[in-house]
Amino acid sequence: MSGGFLPISLEDMKSRGWDGYDFLVVTGDAYVDHPSFGTAVISRVLEAEGFRVAVLAQPEWHDAEAFRAFGRPRLAVMISSGNLDSMVAHFTAAKKRRGEDFYSPGKKAGLRPDRAVIVYASRAREAFPGLPVVIGGLEASLRRFAHYDYWDDKVRRSVIFDAKADLLVYGMGETATREIAGRLDRGEDISSIRDVPGTAYITKDRADCKFDFVEVASYEEVCRDKTAYAKANMTEYDEHDPVRGKAILQDCGGRTLVVNPPAMPLSRREFDRVYELPYMKTWHPVYEAEGGVPAIEEVRFSIIHNRGCFGACNFCALAFHQGRMITSRSQESVLKEAESIAKLPDFKGYIHDVGGPTANFRHPSCEKQLKNGMCRGKNCLTPTPCKNLDADHSDYLSLLRKMRKIPGIKKVFVRSGVRFDYVLADKKGEFLPELVKYHISGQLKVAPEHCIDAVLDVMGKPHNEVYERFLEKYRSLNKKYGKEQFVVPYLISSHPGSSLRDAVKLAEYLNASGHMPEQVQDFYPTPGTLSTCMYYTGLDPRTMKPVYVPRSPREKAMQRALLQWKKPENRSLVTAALKAAGREDLIGFSPRCLIRPETKRPGKTEKEKRNAGRTGKTRRKQGR
């Protein structure tokens, strides 16, 4: 196996003595050879299987020349938009184009196209007619079914139709990628690869499906019937389980989309192997002149120890991508990575994070899921923790304790956020004291998201009293250890279920607690999530009951402004929101009020006018 970065040009390939290569991996991100970047992981996994891999990062997409520059790959082109959906990378929740892209050199925006998977696939087919095209990554994964698209404000068909790809890989992708690569290498035609878990394809013959399957409403039906859309989305969510999940069929334009069941998560041994591949852990030197790729700064001295999340927040894409089943690396693998980080020349002694989707999840939520899969229609933590929940931080604590003892490491922080209801469910009570004492860099990130229980139910979050109990324990422990550490709560405005009055109550709650968040995330309807389904249909797909949805830009702006009511630029929106909600009692001078009333300076009295005139005469006499 060759060392160094993978080739990014024909010259790189020649310098390795290659007369050809097997796979062209295309990405919408700059090339950063770090395991936090999906393109790097898939490329290194293919390399570890003995394949020659070239990386085409952020190619010029207006024609196919950049794709042809390497010559024709022997086996296939594999395409990803990068670590983010390209539309999320380009637009804010208010649909304003972003001015920066942290996954591009120098934060330069515009180096990838909108709907990058579709555009790159088109260029690949143009460059290499007849060559297999496989799409994957987050953009392909979340758009694998017919889905509501926030930017077009309509339902789009599965991305595989528009990309005209041969296969779609969803989820984390290592297992499926290895199998696809091996079968192509053995001479199997891409059209016959129909039985790989974690993949999707288009067929005219339903007999191609090799798994037990369920059907959901066709693309045409979910376009015209929001009830059908909500039911389909719920089925797609329920079947996303590697143990009990079935294939899902969805008709579209006379053909059938087949989404095979999810791949099983990597075993601990496999997980270790993926993260111990020879990553360079930095951006390619070609980006040095532009200041590098900023996205790596958050992860350069951080370690991922787990995957998956059984928190199952309805607005989060994780459950639909990584899945709800937790897998984790061995302590030995994580400690080995920590030791290697400690030897880096620019390491200052601080591990920024030992986390993942949720930092304090390190093992499956219960033993039953290993045999039966995740429970259908139930969550492990909400509305209250399941009686079978195995809330135990022992292994995670043991790992953190060992990391603290590694020579060269001064501090080990947990910054990716903890699930506070899971912390409270752990009856041993050892984790939070050690977290407070050793692992917080001044601020702890948690995600209450709202304070109104009815809204939290729609979000799939614990009720507010759980958060209050956590805060009480957290503050008590900080006092005990003489620490001045704060909580940074993540909050979402304008989520389905949140009325303007609910947003006002949240602002009241924050005001009473003496906290105004510096950052607020307006709800962003990303493809595939249950909350996005609610936004589009006005139905909660779990119950099929109507749910209130703030959709107008004006109301969304007011809800967001309410959570930052002290900012002068928000004053007019906050005033309008309080009046619209019938809460003008919060405009005044008492401590519970959010804003002060607008008052005009009273006119001058006759006496003040005479005095002002005398002052003017005096100044003129003195030559002033």
157 shares a domain with 73:
yes
Task: Write down the pTM of the prediction.
Answer: 0.92
76 shares a domain with 183:
yes
Boundary residue ending a domain (149, 170, 196) = 196
207 inside domain: no
The number of distinct structural domains making up the chain is 3
DSSP 551-567: -SHHHHHHHHHHTTTT-
Domain that holds residue 344: 301-435
27 shares a domain with 102:
yes
pLDDT tens, position by position, 106-158: 999 999 999 999 999 999 999 999 999 999 999 999 999 999 999 999 999 99
515 inside domain: yes
Q: Is 604 helix (H, G, I), strand (E, B) or coil?
A: coil
565 inside domain: yes
296 inside domain: no
393 shares a domain with 466:
no
Boundary residue ending a domain (418, 435, 452) = 435
Residue of higher predicted confidence among 72 and 516: 72
Boundary residue ending a domain (156, 172, 196) = 196
Is the distance from CB of 78 to CB of 266 less than 8 angstroms? Answer: no
Structure tokens at 561: 């402004």
Among candidates 299, 264, 276, 263, which has minimal Cα distance to 37? 299
Residue of higher predicted confidence among 607 and 589: 589
Burial (Cβ within 10 Å: 0-12, 13-18, ≥19) of residue 574 = buried
Q: Does the bond joining 383 to the residue before it have cis omega, within 30 degrees of 0?
A: yes
241 inside domain: no
- Tallying the residues shown for the chain, one arrives at 624
- CATH of residue 356: 3.30.750.210
270 inside domain: no
Q: For 604, what's the count of Cα atoms within 13 Å in the CB-facing half-sphere? A: 8
50 shares a domain with 155:
yes
- Rounded to an integer, the average pLDDT of 518-533 is 93
164 shares a domain with 311:
no
403 inside domain: yes
560 shares a domain with 603:
yes
Gyration radius of the chain over CA positions: 27
539 shares a domain with 566:
yes
- CATH of residue 98: 3.40.50.280
pLDDT tens, position by position, 175-221: 999 999 999 999 999 999 999 999 999 999 999 999 999 999 999 99
Helical residues (DSSP H) of 390-499, grouped into ranges: 394-404, 420-425, 431-438, 453-459, 464-480
- Rounded to an integer, the average pLDDT of 580-593 is 96
402 inside domain: yes
